[in-house]
Structure 1
């Protein structure tokens, strides 16, 4: 073996050791919070888990319970065969999602820099406060669908469009919030980066995901319309997410929410019109920028948003900062906003007005939009460097 090859192998082994050590340390930190019981766990998750455990695990997925899609229940059902408490198993599942999400952050950042920075991005992801709070404290599973969204972006960078759309479809089969990335994919469809036949993948994956539950006895139509029923469950304009509707009175009529949904749709259509009218190269940098823009845009301008709905933006803003280091403030503001929103729900913190974070997130959104416009107007990366733009 040559000295050069031996050195390369040593560096790779060293990187793997670093990531394993970081993962072990991150899990050790999470274990300290495994005893915390959130209201969501008491009201929903514990009951779902015990129902599955008492009725035979996987054989119970045909029982009609909860308001999630079956994909998450399949994973919970598999966990019921392990001899540990439901609280710890549910949190362990979510923590596994943290690792999967961090892995795809690593791949995306490593694609730009190669050695070292991908591993650093992996470590930072696992120690983001919002990531730890979501899984280890709250026992929520947002890391699972977000990992699939990050996989979608990673595979698009590798020009594997079918695998990318499949990853998005898996995310959508787990959580409706995956739809925040849908406008980004639609832009790529309009630009010819994704073929029209890929539109068949999401419904196909979703139908496949609900078939086991349907075969076991659940009503097929009810499984098809889970997300429609979810959208009707809440009528508060905002549920602790510091978006536009933080400024609206709590007793605003439902008609305001319906009008806001239409207005948000019109805004998305406007962005489609602008982007389709422009000619630009769809580089890795542009993919990261557009993806972040849309996962920030929709939760900001849509009503009925929960505290956790900027979770994909938390991780994508981190990726964005690695691609554009001078914009380090974007993940700082985004993660701070998420952490405070989580803390209001979990611990009752009320020491800062949500309106402040609403303004900061609007600043973030506008600045990411301006960043995209600058890159489009410059036309190519070499022009950006030559003219000295901040990107």
Structure 2
């Protein structure tokens, strides 16, 4: 008769090891799957990658890699140009290298959401892990980085970490990280109203902390200075977005903003007429929110900080002129964290994601802007108003 004692001992050790580390194995398997998911788009090229990102990469590489930063390349800020320069030294196809840099920040983004959810849910590790993988497997996130090769995860991850450090009352770290987000995209400005409101209302930090923003932007220009662009690049990095803001001269750009409801001709003349009133209207709405929160004496806690960041950034994208479909990435990701503490927002979050995915699909698959922006603008406005009602009601409820 065969002796199964030894084999049983081995099996028991293997199964025991698996059972004891089941959660870790599942987490590792999901992380591997998330990496595989980002490999699937492969050589897929978006219009932005073909017309901008790859030509910028090739220009930097052909002019000396890092030393090719001695002149301005493209219309993204200097630190992104520095990242492209570093990527030229990686032995990968240009599109793979560019996508790799974006995908790395997906994990920094997911980590920020997980850390915020951990604080929002009384340090619940299960919720933190679930939120981590929701972000990593979110179609909006992996399409943005792995297919589109865009860098929205870069600035949004830094904005979310800034919010996290504010929640943890580490104000200097908050503004250092927030300032660094501007080295990637101007859209980090969408949560500046939050920090301005908290400065006046919360009174927990000095106005000198705001100096971290320009200082970090100047530091981000140092690689270009070393490469030979000159000290003027320090000034250039501070004024870069002033010139960028004037590029797009349409009230809406493949995003169902409030101004789609006017059904006017989306021309440059239409833009020049409505641009200033649209900005003023947005500022008024932001001021109404802040006045309401002042009068209601809302508590400044982790939950309310996240709610305010969501509402203020959503307001900016919905009502400001010249908004693209990717500009809502910040509040769309914040919506995931919010769903963990207010279950009523799950349905509008799904609806918002479906709407944005439709816009992404039009551009990436069909190569055109959405033709039904008027109808989608109504949907977007209703989602926004639902969030305004639900979140404000939650914020003023002391219980």
Q: TM-score, normalised by structure 1?
A: 0.89
Match of 1:25 among 21, 24, 33: 33
Residue 242 of structure 1 contacts residue 341 of structure 1 at CA under 8 Å; is this kept in 2?
Answer: no
Deviation digits for residues 55-109 of structure 1, max 9, x if unmatched?
Answer: 2322222211211111111112111111111100101111111111011111111
1:323 aligns with 2:337: no
Indicate how the Cα distance of structure 1 residues 312 and 12 shifts in structure 2: closer, same or farther if over 3 A, else same: farther
Alignment of 1:1-391 (within 5 A): 15-111=23-119, 112=121, 113-191=123-201, 192-218=203-229, 219-220=232-233, 221-247=235-261, 248-249=263-264, 250-251=266-267, 252-348=270-366, 353-378=372-397, 380=398, 383=399
Structure 1 residue 364, shift from structure 2 partner: 2.4
Deviation digits for residues 337-379 of structure 1, max 9, x if unmatched?
Answer: 221121121122788722333222222222222234323433x
| Structure 1 alignment gaps of length 5 or more | 1-9, 384-391
Residue 311 of structure 1 contacts residue 338 of structure 1 at CA under 8 Å; is this kept in 2?
Answer: no
Structure 1 residue 215, shift from structure 2 partner: 4.0
Residue 362 of structure 2 contacts residue 370 of structure 2 at CA under 8 Å; is this kept in 1?
Answer: no
More displaced stretch, 273-282 vs 71-80: 273-282
Indicate how the Cα distance of structure 1 residues 95 and 246 shifts in structure 2: closer, same or farther if over 3 A, else same: same
Indicate how the Cα distance of structure 1 residues 184 and 12 shifts in structure 2: closer, same or farther if over 3 A, else same: farther
| Structure 2 alignment gaps of length 5 or more | 1-17
Indicate how the Cα distance of structure 1 residues 12 and 289 shifts in structure 2: closer, same or farther if over 3 A, else same: farther
Structure 1 residue 14, shift from structure 2 partner: 5.1
More displaced stretch, 133-142 vs 366-375: 366-375
Residue 34 of structure 1 contacts residue 91 of structure 1 at CA under 8 Å; is this kept in 2?
Answer: no
User: How many corresponding residue pairs?
Assistant: 372
Residue 240 of structure 1 contacts residue 344 of structure 1 at CA under 8 Å; is this kept in 2?
Answer: no
SS in 2 for 1:309: coil
* Alpha-carbon separation, structure 1, partners of 2:179 and 2:88: 26
Aligned to 2:14: none
Q: TM-score, normalised by structure 2?
A: 0.87
Deviation digits for residues 205-233 of structure 1, max 9, x if unmatched?
Answer: 11111133134333433332110111010
